[in-house]
């Protein structure tokens, strides 16, 4: 089996990204499924390796093509932008700018054909903004860097897949933004990913906005009939098994039981809540609609435990697995 090359961005260097990368790349099963290439700061990885007790060297690379993919040494395209005394667990513009540079470099590497996908460690939105990069998060930043007008966030856990119609905006703004065309496009992107993943006829459930799906107009302002139902009908007209709008509380229960392959959530917390209840350690974030594959851990920078060596790397391992599974072709030969 040809292993795809996955560009792993280090995320915010003051967070747990460096530690979970060193922990994950110490696991043999990661090297069995992909060729990991870290984009970050080699010195920071060395420090993180010391903290977590990883018996791995770090190879400092100037170019992606210089990687040898030894399982005993982390391959790092070294941007060397983090000062040695940068503290763990503190928000800073320096760290925010570093995180921005890592993702920018990773896009360049994948665009040049030197990697098949990007897997991102977490960044801090506050630090990113402090550095002058005004993006709500990785998803919007990647869309900007790749010139993609619209993307969707999909969260995947062992029992549940959720794609979001809206994400990092306030609830009132989300309800205003939801409209049939947007809902249909999100369903279509999710359907395409499931088919590419080998599910020939996905069964998709679409959440309502209001409790009990609005009770036929008793709750809300008829959002289900006006904003969601037309999109569901349009997708069903394509021959797809799409059902909704359905009461979210019941739909998530049915989906984690296995009745649906994917749930379409209308707003951020509607989709994130069930995934996180099922376990952050196994959750993966996939950006759908980009010209490159991008997966990520489904947790934040965890500044409260950064630098202590106790961060859990399992979400990153699963994110790498998903990136490998979705990669269309190998990276560096």
- Domain membership flag for residue 244: yes
- What is the predicted pLDDT for the residue at 328? 63
- Asked whether residue 52 falls in the same domain as residue 93, the answer is yes
Structural domains counted in the chain: 2
Average pLDDT over residues 50-63: 96
- Domain membership flag for residue 287: no
pLDDT in tens, 176-208: 999 999 999 999 999 998 988 789 999 999 999
Residue 11: both structure tokens together: 């995320």
- Asked whether residue 194 falls in the same domain as residue 88, the answer is no
pLDDT in tens, 260-277: 999 999 999 999 999 888
- Asked whether residue 123 falls in the same domain as residue 231, the answer is no
Residue 194: both structure tokens together: 């499931």
- Asked whether residue 40 falls in the same domain as residue 143, the answer is yes
| This prediction's pTM | 0.84
- What is the predicted pLDDT for the residue at 331? 43
CATH code for the domain in which residue 213 is found = 3.40.718.10
- Domain membership flag for residue 80: yes
- Domain membership flag for residue 187: yes
- Asked whether residue 65 falls in the same domain as residue 128, the answer is yes
- Asked whether residue 106 falls in the same domain as residue 215, the answer is no
- Asked whether residue 162 falls in the same domain as residue 131, the answer is no
- Asked whether residue 181 falls in the same domain as residue 52, the answer is no
Distance of CA 320 to the CA centre of its chain: 10
Report the 10 Å Cβ neighbour count for 122. 26
pLDDT in tens, 109-164: 999 999 999 999 999 999 999 999 998 888 889 999 999 999 999 998 888 999 99
Taking the CA atoms of 114, 116, 122 and 124 in sequence, report the sign of the dihedral they define: positive
Tell me how far apart the alpha carbons of residues 239 and 233 are, in angstroms, rounded to a whole number: 10
DSSP 192: H
- Asked whether residue 161 falls in the same domain as residue 242, the answer is yes
- Domain membership flag for residue 247: yes
Domain extent for 233: 152-274
- Asked whether residue 118 falls in the same domain as residue 205, the answer is no
- Asked whether residue 257 falls in the same domain as residue 234, the answer is yes
- Asked whether residue 42 falls in the same domain as residue 162, the answer is no
Could you give the 3-state DSSP secondary structure of residue 284? strand
């Amino acid at each position: 089996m040809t292993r795809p090359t996955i560009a792993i961005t280090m995320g915010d260097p003051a967070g747990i990204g460096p530690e979970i990368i060193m922990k994950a790349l110490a696991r043999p099963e990661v090297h069995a499924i992909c060729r990991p290439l870290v984009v970050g700061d080699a010195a920071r990885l060395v420090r993180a390796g010391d903290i977590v007790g990883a018996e791995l060297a770090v190879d400092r690379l100037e170019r992606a093509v210089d990687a040898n993919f030894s399982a005993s040494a982390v391959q790092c395209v070294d941007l060397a932008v983090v000062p040695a005394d940068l503290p763990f667990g503190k928000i800073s513009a320096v760290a925010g700018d570093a995180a921005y540079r890592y993702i920018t470099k990773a896009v360049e590497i994948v665009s040049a054909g030197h990697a098949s996908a990007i897997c991102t460690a977490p960044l801090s939105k506050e630090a990113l903004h402090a550095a002058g990069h005004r993006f709500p998060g990785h998803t919007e930043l990647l869309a900007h860097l790749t010139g993609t007008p619209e993307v969707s966030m999909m969260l995947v856990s062992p029992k549940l897949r959720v794609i979001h119609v809206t994400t990092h905006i306030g609830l009132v703004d989300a309800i205003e933004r939801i409209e049939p065309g947007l809902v249909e496009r999100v369903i279509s992107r999710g359907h395409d990913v499931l088919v590419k993943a080998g599910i020939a006829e996905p069964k998709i459930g679409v959440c309502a906005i209001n409790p009990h799906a609005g009770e036929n107009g008793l709750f809300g302002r008829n959002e289900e009939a006006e904003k969601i139902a037309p999109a569901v009908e349009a997708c069903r007209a394509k021959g797809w098994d799409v059902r909704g709008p359905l009461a979210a509380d019941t739909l998530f229960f049915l989906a984690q039981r296995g009745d649906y392959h994917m749930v379409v959530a209308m707003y951020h917390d509607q989709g994130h809540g069930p995934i996180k209840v099922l376990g952050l350690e196994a959750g993966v974030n996939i950006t759908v609609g980009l010209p490159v594959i991008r997966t990520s851990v489904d947790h934040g920078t965890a500044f409260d435990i950064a630098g202590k060596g106790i961060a859990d790397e399992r979400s990153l391992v699963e994110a790498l697995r998903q990136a490998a599974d979705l990669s269309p072709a190998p990276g560096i030969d």
